[in-house]
Structure 1
Amino acid sequence: MSTIARARCRFAAHPLALDAALAVAVLVCMVAGSFADPHGPDGVTWGVRTPDPLSLLLMALGAAALVLRRRAPMTVLALTGVVSVVEFVTGDPRAPVVMSAVVALYTVAATTDRPTTWRVGLLTMAVLTGAAMLAGPLPWYAQDNLAVFAWTGIGATAGDAVRSRRAFVHAIRERAERAERTREEEARRRVAEERLRIARDLHDVVAHHIALVNVQAGVAAHVMDKRPDQAKEALGHVREASRSALNELRATVGLLRQSDDPEAPTEPAPGLDRLDELAGTFRNAGLHVEVARADQGTALPTAVDLAAYRVIQEALTNVQKHAGPEAKAEVSVVRVGPNIEITVLDDGTGEHEAPAAGGGHGLLGMRERVTAVRGTLTTGPRYGGGFRVHAILPVKMPVDHRGRA
């Protein structure tokens, strides 16, 4: 930090000391100016005239008032204006007491608004210039009288310019801080959305595969003694389901790795192209699943494709867990205009889970996934028994006013 910058910081921390130093500097300039004759034969001549005691007193009063210019700018302007008028009327030769009024007018202009600066500035210029022209010892057209008008105008203009620049810098800083807050809020929102998405993925993976493992393990335990070949087949399905669960968990948790981690997974997220494979895992677990598709090979955005897959996965998992051992499930995927409709039906007699505090997050997770891609989800029991899950998902993700899908 330079010496000037350190001095500026020190004075900014002690404004009263800065104003006192300014008052001393103005007093020195006024006293020095009172000894000069600007109209000498060789230009400015020093020591030709000497100020009288009243002029020195008025200069001291005007400079002393500037110490309080920040606390009471209008009062200081009025006091320095009165001192200047008194000096115009009584001083001979004239001392530059009006310098203190110019500084006070600058302070008013720098600390108030523009309309106030115009009103106060014009009033000050008129009063001081009028007093100099009408009551001063010099002719009204003297150059010194015009100088009073010019210097008061310069003080008001300079103060208004400083105030405008200060307001401009403050507005820029405020916009930058607002933009920074917006970026931080957006980052927090994206982190929260990503955490929620990963939590949904973990729930779907664990619920689906653990349900299959549970069913197959139950089958193996039931037929272990009488049908060891069937028990072996069931244990094979358990091993396959657990391997799939581990792979999907590894892929999901791998999203939390650093971007430069070479072990981060590169396998794409599952979608409707793996629907037959998904249905096969449930068939191996003993659930009768029928799949009907009429989507004409529609290409879906990755988020919509994943949401469709997870809705079907969670719905079939609920059928496996809650619909009963003899239940059958029907899955249909149909393209209807700008949307794709996913329907999962079952004819079971068991009770499906409902979202409630402390548990039952399957239906809630499906609803959050569908809502996240601007879709709609309806669930509920069917007339005559069974359960129905119906999701309507957009084929194209809508874009909001900030350009995000």
Structure 2
Amino acid sequence: MGAARRSTVVTVYAAITRWRARYLDRYRAPLADVLLALTGALFVLYQGPTGVDGGTITLAVLCAALILLRRRRPVPVLLAATVVFVIVVVLGRPPDGMFIVAGILTYATALYSARRRHWFYAFVTWSALMLAGSVVYRTGWWNADQLTAFTIIFGGAAWGDSVRMRRAYLAEVTDRARRAEQTREEEARRRVMDERLRIARELHDVVAHHIAVISVHAGAADHVMRDEPHRVWPVLGHIRVAAGTVMKEIKSVVSVLRDPDEAASTEPAPGMERLGELLAELRAIGFRVRHEQHGEPRTLPAVVDLAAYRIAQEALTNAHRYGDGSATFRLEYTADTVRIDIVNRVTVPGGRHRDGSGFGLIGMRERASAAHGTIVAGPVAGGLFRVHAELPVDDRAINRLNAREAGNHPA
């Protein structure tokens, strides 16, 4: 019943999201323009000093039309509105709502105009109204209402400029973050490739030289073994020294990839024999793991054994960090593969914690690839997250998995 209810909620939410994307987001701006135009017209109609007459209605309709056109041509609309408002002032005492419309238009000019000359346009509008009022009404025009008109007109310009600067700042920050992320990823990839090439060159130089020495001494040992057996021991000693040198050189080069804490550790690499300890540690901290094992456990190749343990460890750790406190762990040994399947319910949308780096999933994929295996990790239906890995234990299984992978990803 709970799963059906959650499925219904998800379906309804998805339908609302699609409706919003199709209709609300698409028509939000036109609807807002119509609502603002009606509001401006109402201010003109219901704030007239002599009541509503034909002239006030005409002015209200003109104000509504000007508001609707303000986004496309903000400067011409403001200049046309200034001319209309001057005519209204000359013909009679203007309604107070007219100045509110003037503030809306100066706001639009500051926000949508290609040039940042909003203070000049606001000054032109206010000066024209004040000049016309002074000529018609002389000293009777100047009162506290004109201070209100000044505040509305220049306040609209200031508000529009503030919104414009904030939008530009957010766009710049977003663009910088996007470019920084791209640059960081490219730099990380470049550093990884450079480091791999450097290590590969050094390993090639070191190993090739000493392997050549071993080959020469092995040939000499074969020769002296037949003719002069008593001289074989110094040759074998040279082979042993050369092999030891190869091991030391490889260790010194590869050590740059190790963590400093790992360098001092002499503990062997973990494998599936330590799976019980891992599960016990997780249960000790309150994480509930339902473990199912199928097939007869057996000794795995070293690379597969390490990869299987690390994949299980990383997947269970992620389930503990981002899940609801429980997980199902299914381990299956088949004739030629070992399969790992871990499923947990996530509590963070998308299965990713906001503080997560995503490197854990990358590491699991790299380990599976190193063992010639496959792995699928991601959210599934019902708010679950699943990690499914299949690792081969012999050449036959490797060929089968490679063929299946090629079939799933045609060229």
TM-score (norm 2): 0.52
What is the Cα deviation at residue 112 of structure 1? 3.8
Query: What residue in structure 1 maps to residue 227 of structure 2?
Result: 226
> Are positions 1:216 and 2:217 aligned together?
yes
Query: What residue in structure 2 maps to residue 235 of structure 1?
Result: 236
CA distance in 2, matches of 1:232, 1:177: 65
CA distance in 2, matches of 1:57, 1:261: 83
What is the Cα deviation at residue 145 of structure 1? 3.8
Return the match for 1:17 from 31, 51, 72. 31
CA distance in 2, matches of 1:80, 1:264: 80
Contact preservation (8 Å) 1:201, 1:252:
yes
Query: What residue in structure 1 maps to residue 130 of structure 2?
Result: 129
What is the Cα deviation at residue 216 of structure 1? 0.7
Change (3 A) 1:32 1:97: same
CA distance in 2, matches of 1:30, 1:235: 106
CA distance in 1, matches of 2:166, 2:47: 32
Contact preservation (8 Å) 1:220, 1:235:
yes
Contact preservation (8 Å) 2:42, 2:60:
no
Query: What residue in structure 2 maps to residue 80 of structure 1?
Result: 81
What is the Cα deviation at residue 93 of structure 1? 6.3
CA distance in 1, matches of 2:261, 2:223: 48
CA distance in 1, matches of 2:244, 2:152: 88
What SS does structure 2 have at the residue aligned with 1:69? coil
What is the Cα deviation at residue 92 of structure 1? 4.7
What is the Cα deviation at residue 98 of structure 1? 3.1
Contact preservation (8 Å) 2:40, 2:63:
no
Contact preservation (8 Å) 1:88, 1:136:
no
CA distance in 2, matches of 1:244, 1:86: 98
Bigger mean CA offset, 90-99 vs 63-72 = 90-99
Query: What is the root-mean-square deviation in Å for CA atoms of aligned residues?
Result: 3.7
Contact preservation (8 Å) 1:62, 1:83:
no
Contact preservation (8 Å) 1:30, 1:95:
yes
Instruction: Please list every run of 5 or more consecutive structure 1 residues that lacks an aligned counterpart in the other structure.
Output: 1-6, 38-48, 267-405
What is the Cα deviation at residue 13 of structure 1? 6.8
Amino acid at match of 1:20: V
1:1-39: CA deviation from partner (whole Å, max 9, x where unpaired): xxxxxx9x95687322222222122222222222xx5xx
Amino acid at match of 2:86: V
Query: What residue in structure 2 maps to residue 108 of structure 1?
Result: 109
> Are positions 1:32 and 2:33 aligned together?
no
Change (3 A) 1:221 1:228: same
What is the Cα deviation at residue 113 of structure 1? 6.7
Contact preservation (8 Å) 2:44, 2:95:
no
Query: What residue in structure 2 maps to residue 150 of structure 1?
Result: 151
1:202-239: CA deviation from partner (whole Å, max 9, x where unpaired): 11221121111122122223323211222343233224
Amino acid at match of 1:180: E
> Are positions 1:55 and 2:69 aligned together?
no
Change (3 A) 1:181 1:258: same
What is the Cα deviation at residue 53 of structure 1? 1.0
TM-score (norm 1): 0.52
1:137-156: CA deviation from partner (whole Å, max 9, x where unpaired): 98232433443333212222
Amino acid at match of 1:118: W
1:341-366: CA deviation from partner (whole Å, max 9, x where unpaired): xxxxxxxxxxxxxxxxxxxxxxxxxx
Matches within 5 A, 1:358-377: none
Matches within 5 A, 1:280-295: none
Bigger mean CA offset, 81-90 vs 170-179 = 170-179
Amino acid at match of 2:141: W
What SS does structure 2 have at the residue aligned with 1:70? coil
Amino acid at match of 2:87: V
Change (3 A) 1:263 1:68: farther
CA distance in 2, matches of 1:10, 1:263: 61
Matches within 5 A, 1:242-321: 242-246=243-247, 248-249=249-250, 252-253=253-254
Contact preservation (8 Å) 2:214, 2:242:
yes
Change (3 A) 1:262 1:26: farther
Amino acid at match of 1:29: F
Contact preservation (8 Å) 2:203, 2:253:
yes
Query: What residue in structure 2 maps to residue 69 of structure 1?
Result: 70
1:304-354: CA deviation from partner (whole Å, max 9, x where unpaired): xxxxxxxxxxxxxxxxxxxxxxxxxxxxxxxxxxxxxxxxxxxxxxxxxxx
Contact preservation (8 Å) 1:55, 1:87:
no
Return the structure number with greater helix share: 2
Query: What residue in structure 2 maps to residue 353 of structure 1?
Result: none
